[in-house]
Amino acid sequence: MAFNKRVKIKTILDQNPIGQEITLMGWVRTKRSNKNVSFIALNDGSIITNYQVVADPNLISEDILKKCSTGACLKVTGIVVESQGAGQSSELNAKSIEVLGEADPEKYPLQPKKHSLEFLRDIAHLRMRTNTFSAVFRVRHALAFAVHKYFNDKGFFYIHTPIITASDAEGAGETFRVTTFDLMNPPKTEEGKIDFKQDFFERETNLTVSGQLEGELAAMALAEIYTFGPTFRAENSNTTRHLAEFWMIEPEMAFYDAEDNQDLAEDFLKYVINYALEHCADDLKFLDQRAAEEEKSKPADQRAELGLIDKLKFVLENDFVRLTYTEAIDILRNSNHNKKKKFQYLIDSWGADLQSEHERYLVEKHFKKPVILTDYPKDIKAFYMRQNDDGKTVAAMDILFPGIGEIVGGSQREERMDKLTQRMREMYIPEEELWWYLDTRRFGATPHAGFGLGFERMVLFVTGMGNIRDVIAFPRTPGNAEF
Ligand code: ATP
Ligand code: MG
């Protein structure tokens, strides 16, 4: 017989197979014993709920029972019976227990008590064995699946854009270099500079910061595409919302203008959130309670008005507020917050870049709803955004979420060759390097638009976690690449 004939806990709870003999495999969360019986709470990852195994010391040896400590991995065969205790309708009467892997109680770091998130970050290789993290990663999975389902059902095509690129798409310059050179002894040119012609790709390369430019190329053939891949930014921002390695979803659509782009983004965000509400009810209920506990430790005036699940429903039920950057600046400039100098960066003039404190003020204090901010000054946005007729602004959009700030950044793209190259010159972006990008404007150009959603920011929002390091399995941040 094959080894894996296990039944998952989720299946048992769904089907309640009273009287049947089954085999469960999973990890011990807790064990309670007296001289007549042992109760073992087992978790197998399929669902947040633990399943109770009842072991009779007349059937299961003392030696085995001793090894069934927190963290140990067990294979239990037995009969499903009606549960005596409250809380769960059935339990497993063990006929035999095999200890697949012991966990020395003296050394196993996870004990059945509350551990801090900081402590768990240091043992990220084990933290998925906790309720909180298993819930987060099941929700993360569902969200990723929903992203693909949404676009697939709409007829978008999934494009895999390169991870290694020679362009720094945004011109932001915060890239990780990719090289096979021996850093102690790289080949030099006659002028004494590093000779990248001798490197693997015969040029300078780096990890991608965005798949957008290549996504645009695909949209000029397949019309509606999306990417969903890792992106890398060597920005030294030690915030709760920035990672050095994160996953980004970037749809790019031919024949879409700025408004079509906003409509798609709003519909997409709501779809994905709704998918989680429908498919992750148990995990979200747990995370909702966790977040509520967390809120209690905050001062009364800083507590969230809505619990997690209510917050998610609120986003679904309300239209996002759409306003221009210029309107937002007026609101911020005239706000009491600004007048009383409560912002770290005061808003005094049009043209200022918005900091996350301003974004969060608009969303959390002023509108109390997700906000789509449009038409930013061209000087604070990327070269490829379509220039508006006023000569000052571009058809950009940022979507701002409560507790998160910017979750989406996008724009209608500049499809007019002359305007695009003029902007590139103004921003010192070399045309020769992006000849292939410019070809889309030379041959069969059309209005088009797209946006980027930072996947982890979405997971943060839906799970109610407070730190982006806690919604990716193995976070990469400045000074941290363990595991
Ligand atoms: P921010 O101002 O928050 O740094 P950005 O303007 O640099 O964001 P974009 O370049 O527009 O962001 O990237 C698109 C999306 O990717 C953002 O809206 C955000 O959701 C996400 N994102 C950007 N940088 C990071 C990061 N370092 N870690 C995680 N997600 C990120
Ligand atoms: Mg940034």
User: pLDDT, tens digit, for every residue of 284-343?
Assistant: 999 999 999 999 988 888 888 899 999 999 999 999 999 999 999 999 999 999 999 999
pLDDT, average across residues 188-207:
95
Distance CA 351, CA 160 (A): 36
Residue 424 CA to ligand 2 center (angstroms) comes to 20
Residue 169 has pLDDT above 60, yes or no: no
- Residue 406 near ligand 1, beta carbon < 6 Å: yes
| Cβ atoms 53, 78 nearer than 8 A | yes
Residue 466 CA to ligand 2 center (angstroms) comes to 18
* Domains 3-113 and 129-174+209-470 alike in fold: no
- Residue 252 near ligand 1, beta carbon < 6 Å: no
Q: Which ligand is nearest to the CA of 355?
A: 1
Residue 170 has pLDDT above 80, yes or no: no
Residue nearest to atom 2 of ligand 1 (CA): 406
pLDDT, average across residues 59-82:
97
| Residue 112: per-residue pLDDT | 84
| Residue 435: per-residue pLDDT | 94
What burial class does residue 463 get, using C-beta atoms within 10 Å of its C-beta: 0-12 exposed, 13-18 middle, 19+ buried? buried
What burial class does residue 40 get, using C-beta atoms within 10 Å of its C-beta: 0-12 exposed, 13-18 middle, 19+ buried? buried
Q: Which H or E run contains 420?
A: helix 417-426
Residue 69 CA to ligand 2 center (angstroms) comes to 45
Third-level CATH fold of 129-174+209-470:
BirA Bifunctional Protein; domain 2 (3.30.930)
Distance CA 156, CA 223 (A): 8
The domain locations on the chain are 3-113, 129-174+209-470
Helix (H, G, I), strand (E, B) or coil at 53: strand
- Residue 211 near ligand 1, beta carbon < 6 Å: no
Instruction: Copy the structure tokens of residue 438.
Output: 């410019």
Query: Which residues does residue 252 pair with via DSSP β-bridges, in sequence order?
Result: 225, 450
Instruction: Copy the structure tokens of residue 450.
Output: 């797209």
Residue 356 has pLDDT above 80, yes or no: yes
pLDDT, average across residues 172-199:
93
Atom of ligand 1 nearest to the CA of 457: 20
pLDDT in tens, 90-146: 999 999 999 999 999 999 999 888 999 999 999 999 999 999 999 999 999 999 999
How does the average pLDDT of the chain come out, rounded? 95
In order, the DSSP letters of 354-383 are: PPHHHHHIIIIIII-S-EEEEEEEGGGS-T
| Torsion-angle region of 440 (φ positive above 0: left; ψ -120 to 50: alpha; else: beta) | alpha
Distance CA 198, CA 203 (A): 8
pLDDT, average across residues 218-231:
98
Residue 478 CA to ligand 2 center (angstroms) comes to 14
Q: What is the CA radius of gyration of the chain?
A: 27
Residue 273 CA to ligand 2 center (angstroms) comes to 24
- Torsion sign, CA atoms 222, 385, 374, 347: positive
Residue nearest to atom 25 of ligand 1 (CA): 242
Among candidate residues 465, 467, 466, the one with its CA nearest the CA of residue 477: 467
| Residue 113: per-residue pLDDT | 87
pLDDT in tens, 358-387: 999 999 999 999 999 999 999 999 999 999
Between the two ends of the chain, the Cα-to-Cα distance in Å is 35
Distance CA 73, CA 68 (A): 8
CA atoms within 13 A on the CB side of 436: 10
* Confidence grade of residue 173 (pLDDT, cut at 50, 70, 90): low
| Residue 483: per-residue pLDDT | 94
Residue 87 CA to ligand 1 center (angstroms) comes to 43
Residue nearest to atom 22 of ligand 1 (CA): 454
Atom of ligand 1 nearest to the CA of 409: 11
- Residue 54 near ligand 1, beta carbon < 6 Å: no
Domain 3-113 listed as CATH 3.40.50.1820 = no
Among candidate residues 252, 247, 255, the one with its CA nearest the CA of residue 217: 252
Atom of ligand 1 nearest to the CA of 244: 27
Residue 105 CA to ligand 2 center (angstroms) comes to 44
Q: Sheet harboring 164-165: ordered strands across? A: 164-165, 205-207, 177-178
| Residue 182: per-residue pLDDT | 96
Q: Pocket of ligand 1, candidates 210, 457, 468, 480: which has the most ligand atoms within 8 Å of its Cβ, to mutate?
A: 457
| Residue 172: per-residue pLDDT | 61
| Residue 171: per-residue pLDDT | 59
> What is the pTM for the complete model shown?
0.96
| Torsion-angle region of 66 (φ positive above 0: left; ψ -120 to 50: alpha; else: beta) | alpha
Residue 241 CA to ligand 1 center (angstroms) comes to 8
- Residue 246 near ligand 1, beta carbon < 6 Å: yes
